[in-house]
Amino acid sequence: MTHGIVPKLPGSKEVMASTIAQASRRWRVFSAILVVCVASATAVWVFSPVRRQAAATPAPALGVELSNEIQRGAYVARAADCAPCHTAPDGKPFSGGRILKTDFGDMASPNITPDTETGIGGWTRNEFATAVREGVAPHLGFLYPTMSYTSYSKMSDSDIDALYAYIMSQPPVRAPRTEMSLSFPFNLRMLLAGWRKLYFDNSEFKADPAVSDVVNRGAYLVQGAAHCAECHTPRDALGGFDRSRPLAGATIDGFWAPNLTTDPKTGLGGWSEDDIYAYLSGKDTPHGGPFGPMHEVVAESTSHLTEGDNRAIAAYLHQLKPIESVSTGVLDRSLAQASVTRGYAAYKANCAACHRMGGDGVPGLAPPLAGHHALSASSQNVIMPVIAGLSGQTGRLSMPAFELDDQTVADIANYVRSAMGGVTDATATADQVASARAKLH
Residues of the binding site for heme c: 82, 85-86, 228, 231-232, 351, 354-355
- Taking the C-alpha atoms of residue 408 and residue 387, their distance in angstroms, rounded to an integer, is 11
Alpha-carbon dihedral angle through residues 127, 129, 130, 134, given to the nearest 10 degrees: 160
Cβ burial, residue 63 (10 Å; 0-12/13-18/19+): exposed
Number of H helices and E strands in the chain, helices first, is 18, 7
- Taking the C-alpha atoms of residue 85 and residue 352, their distance in angstroms, rounded to an integer, is 35
- Other Cβ atoms less than 10 A from the Cβ of 345: the count is 13
315: closest CA among 219, 423, 430, 198? 219
- Other Cβ atoms less than 10 A from the Cβ of 275: the count is 18
Phi, psi of 380 (to 5 degrees): -55, -35
402: closest CA among 380, 386, 391, 414? 386
Identify the H or E element spanning 102: strand 99-102
Residue 381 to residues 85, 251, 414, Cα–Cα distance (Å): 22, 10, 11
Q: Are strands 181-182 and 105-108 parallel, antiparallel or unpaired?
A: antiparallel
Q: Note the Cα 6 to chain centre separation in Å.
A: 21
Residue ranges for the known binding site are 82, 85-86, 228, 231-232, 351, 354-355
Alpha-carbon dihedral angle through residues 13, 112, 136, 79, given to the nearest 10 degrees: -20
393: closest CA among 263, 268, 255, 230? 255
151: closest CA among 204, 82, 197? 204
Question: Is residue 269 within 8 Å of residue 275, measured between CB atoms?
Answer: no
The residues that bridge with 343 in the sheet, in sequence order, are: none
- Taking the C-alpha atoms of residue 162 and residue 165, their distance in angstroms, rounded to an integer, is 5
